[in-house]
Structure 1
Amino acid sequence: MENLTDLKAILHSKRANIYYLEYCRVMQKDGRVLYLSEVKKEYQYWNIPIANTTCLLLGTGTSITQAAMRMLAQAGVLVGFCGGGATPLFMANEIEWFTPQSEYRPTEYIQGWMQFWFDDAKRLETAKRFQIARIEFIQKVWTKDRELKLEGFDAKDPELERMFSSISTSIANAYNVGKLLQLEADFTKRLYKYAAQKTNLSGFTREHKSADLANDFLNHGNYLAYGLAATTLWVLGIPHGFAVMHGKTRRGALVFDVADLIKDALVLPWAFICAKEKMSEKEFRSQCLQNFVEHKALDFMFTQVKEASAYYLPKDKKS
């Protein structure tokens, strides 16, 4: 059986896998975590490489054993119960995350976070830096990704350059979090419109409960991003309630803040492209996960959260 040291051989920021499972049973067998599915009246076992997995989403018709949960917790894998297609089942707006109970995570990041979090001005400045990082990540990905360029998503497009310049100026001038949220919503709507034009999906309207493919894929991809964000915060020991932008009344709001760093760059364009191609959910999910790995989304999240935690610390205390 793998021991605890073996399971922690891969840093969370370097892990490659997110799993979404449905109609199966997750269990522990011979020191491994497996899922059992029935295919044409035959039962088949499939291995889950938990040491290289960030989070596990359990959808419709799933169950999990206590022994499997113990091993997943040992490996630091977050587990969430969700609805079909990785979109929410509980609370309508967030997955119910089960986080491993490790008492040996670092403390410097939550301590650094608390240094600024109770100061409204510093919290706003942190939210602004997150939004600027988000814009820069879109520009970086849409400049580098050849497949996106072939589909018309090129950061050098004059229309996009005007959008990026305008939103960057507006973010710098935002006087409170409410204004920042408004700017974010308006910018994302403009990206939706741009993506719809590039993929000939005229008349698109963002509806979280809509049944059309583009909306379904946006929901699905966003929840994959939430899994990465929740993993990042758990590893760094920062509770999900200490949001800088989405509001102190939402228990998982910091997950949304961190997920926003990558959603528009990696999920949004491919939701429209895959909808245009009429791909299946499985094909879209595979494309999303490939994008996360190729563009080092998890690394980027870790870097941004760690930098935010250390930003207001005295220089002699920064690691």
Structure 2
Amino acid sequence: MKNLQELPELGDSINYLCLEHAVIEQNDTAIVAIQKEGRTPIPIAAMTCLLLGLGTSVTHAAIRTICENGCMAIWCGEHGERFYASGVGETRSAKNLLIQAKACMDQERHLEIAKRMYQIRFPNMKTDGLTLQQLRGMEGIRVRKAYELVSKTTGVRWKKRSYKAEDWDWADPVNQALSEANALLYGLCHAAVVSLGYSPGLGFIHTRKQLSFVYDVADFYKVETTIPAAFEAVRELTSGNDQKKLVRMKCRTYFANAHILSCVARDLTWMLQGETEEEQDNGLRVGTLWDDKMDTAFGGRNYAGSEVEK
């Protein structure tokens, strides 16, 4: 029987699968997607994230199988571009969530974590003597240079990152492609964050958004994945091509080659818990109770016979 306290090994899983216009049913211990082209078995036990897009319906038995196999089910818009809701992920442990919450609410620890996040972008540089404002400036320069470099290598003209959330057509093709690629990366990072037992909303650089931590994590990987994917998609765009489909295909290749899910698990462990991962509370079969004297007390027992201090 699977131990639901265990944190998932994301590196052993397929990144994600996006389904549209399909009926999803249980098929023995797996699931099957039924479309007009036929029936496609899905090895749900080997997956981390299933994106349920436009025109999908899923049976109760299929959802139960998805969750029991530790796969995150995400209901999203067309091509995974909008996040609407998610199902239960693989872990039932609150260990990582508590570590994250304590760090987020402690100003000194919060600053330390934020600097570690920048150190992931600049692995050969010590961040101890730099202010957060200096690090933000350095990150801005790094991203600007990345845009300029990929523009030069692909031949796609680049002015600046510019878009309007309320007017999609206002942006030029490369900015639209960047928005599409980033949306896919956010969905993948969101699935990883929740599957690992963290909160999407408790960010350290981004704040006051329900996906602040997702944005924090996704920013680690944009320069190596979504930026080149978007520019390459625009370069290959012709009058008969679908830009969204091109972006999606490019992103899938870049995400797979970068092993994004493995990177998220590794980077968050180092960032929040130090150089080595702390021992997991995998052996706990029941929850614990908060205690003002002992930190925690055993759950799953009746304390009616306990001595009451006067």
User: Normalized against structure 2, the TM-score is what?
Assistant: 0.73
Identity %: 25
Q: How large is the Cα RMSD of the aligned pairs? A: 3.2
The runs of 5 or more residues in structure 2 that have no matched partner are: 280-310
Corresponding residue for residue 118 of structure 2: 131
Q: Which amino acid aligns with 2:20?
A: E
Q: Which amino acid aligns with 1:291?
A: Y
The runs of 5 or more residues in structure 1 that have no matched partner are: 89-94, 137-164
User: Structure 1 residues 181 and 37 mapped into 2: Cα distance closer, same or farther (>3 Å)?
Assistant: farther
Larger mean Cα displacement after TM superposition, 179-188 or 29-38: 179-188
User: Structure 1 residues 120 and 87 mapped into 2: Cα distance closer, same or farther (>3 Å)?
Assistant: same
Instruction: Report deviation, 1:179.
Output: 6.7
Matched, 1:75 2:69: yes
Q: Which amino acid aligns with 1:35?
A: A
Equivalences, count? 268
> Structure 1: how far apart are the matches of 2:162 and 2:137?
17
Q: Which amino acid aligns with 2:194?
A: W
Larger mean Cα displacement after TM superposition, 16-25 or 184-193: 184-193
User: Structure 1 residues 202 and 24 mapped into 2: Cα distance closer, same or farther (>3 Å)?
Assistant: same
Q: Which amino acid aligns with 1:87?
A: E
Aligned-partner SS, 1:262: coil
Q: Which amino acid aligns with 1:199?
A: T
Corresponding residue for residue 305 of structure 1: 268
CA contact (8 A) 1:78 1:97 kept: no
Q: Map 1:90-169 onto structure 2 (within 5 A).
A: 95-100=83-88, 105-136=92-123
Corresponding residue for residue 229 of structure 2: 270
Instruction: Report deviation, 1:101.
Output: 6.2
CA deviation profile, 1:235-275 (whole Å, cap 9, x unmatched): 3322212111110x211211111122212212211211122
> Structure 1: how far apart are the matches of 2:95 and 2:72?
21
CA contact (8 A) 2:229 2:254 kept: no
Aligned-partner SS, 1:206: coil
User: Normalized against structure 1, the TM-score is what?
Assistant: 0.71
> Structure 2: how far apart are the matches of 1:63 and 1:186?
45
**Greater gyration radius:** 2
Corresponding residue for residue 87 of structure 1: 81
CA contact (8 A) 1:113 1:308 kept: no
Q: Which amino acid aligns with 1:100?
A: V
> Structure 2: how far apart are the matches of 1:83 and 1:207?
23
Aligned-partner SS, 2:54: coil
Corresponding residue for residue 291 of structure 2: none
Q: Of residues 128, 131, 134 in structure 2, which corresponds to 1:175?
A: 131
> Structure 2: how far apart are the matches of 1:182 and 1:62?
43
Q: Which amino acid aligns with 1:134?
A: R
Instruction: Report deviation, 1:213.
Output: 4.2
Q: Map 1:1-319 onto structure 2 (within 5 A).
A: 11-39=9-37, 44-88=38-82, 95-100=83-88, 105-136=92-123, 175-176=131-132, 184-185=139-140, 187-208=142-163, 209-210=168-169, 212-247=172-207, 249-278=208-237, 280=242, 281-311=244-274, 318-319=278-279
Larger mean Cα displacement after TM superposition, 298-307 or 24-33: 24-33
> Structure 1: how far apart are the matches of 2:249 and 2:158?
27
